[in-house]
Amino acid sequence: MDKKTAARLIDLNRTFYQTFAVQFSATRQRLQPGVQRILDQVSSQESVLDLGCGNGELSKGLFSGGHQGVYIGLDSNPEFLKIAQGNSPQVTSIAFLERDLSDPTWDVDLPLKEFDLILAFAVMHHLPGTALRQQFLEKVKFLLLPSGRFIHSEWQLLNSPRLRKRIQPWGEIGLKSDQVDEGDFLIDWRQGGQGLRYVHVFEAQELASLAKDTGFEIQETFASDGEGGNLGLYQIWKRV
């Protein structure tokens, strides 16, 4: 994928989440089972960097379970961050910052320089192109303590017949299929208006290659979420 196409897809998603922030947040009022499974394993003192923190449901769930460590949530959407601040406990160990994870400077001047745990739930599938994903992962690795864990999930929309019907032709945004990568999809939105967003569906081997190329090893993989329990692919990575 060339940089111009990648920039168009980033802008498409930015516009989508700006337009439908309130409606999207209303559909994310509870933690997915896979996310809860991860939070149940988090030590109360671990420092947590939550990439794409959205409306703050994760931070609320984390601290309601007795978490005491530092938590920093990053998101590019100011409306999400406003909702997140209202959802979360008002304690000094929590901070929310506006950062665009597709921008190469998103990791600059964070309140903490290294983290025990970095989370990216339903985030990396919005980063178009291998080069941008590798750039993102290199920064994650740099911010992770040697003993730390990077835990992420990717949407497996092709496992749902209902979601398959939401796939739209690339011509809807003036692109051709040969301008995007295999596994890239355009998905429509129908709550509170019509919208479109970009999603990449990862294969397990693709994630394995990304991990190897950026200096990670995969510790665990599991499926969770949705009616069939397979709409989210979760992985736990550690630095090599």
Count of domains observed in the chain: 1
Specify the DSSP class assigned to residue 44: T
Q: CB burial class (10 A; 0-12, 13-18, 19+) of residue 105? A: exposed
* Domain enclosing residue 86, as ranges: 3-239
Supply the mean pLDDT for the chain. Answer: 93
Tokens at 149, concatenated: 């864990």
Percent of the chain with pLDDT over 70: 100
**How far is residue 84 from each of residues 20, 36, 110, 171, measured CA to CA in Å?**
15, 18, 18, 35
pLDDT in tens, 194-206: 899 999 999 999 9
Q: What is the model's pLDDT at position 9?
A: 97
Q: What is the model's pLDDT at position 89?
A: 75
Angle 28-29-33 (CA atoms, 0-180°, nearest 5)? Answer: 80
pLDDT score of 193 more than 90: no
pLDDT score of 29 more than 70: no
Pair type for strands 232-239 and 144-155: antiparallel
Q: CB burial class (10 A; 0-12, 13-18, 19+) of residue 32? A: buried
Domain holding 45: CATH number? 3.40.50.150
- CB 238, CB 165: distance < 8 Å: no
Helix (H, G, I), strand (E, B) or coil at 96: strand
Q: What is the model's pLDDT at position 47?
A: 97
pLDDT in tens, 74-129: 999 999 999 998 887 788 789 999 999 999 999 999 999 999 999 999 999 999 99
Phi then psi for 71, rounded to 5 degrees? -130, 130
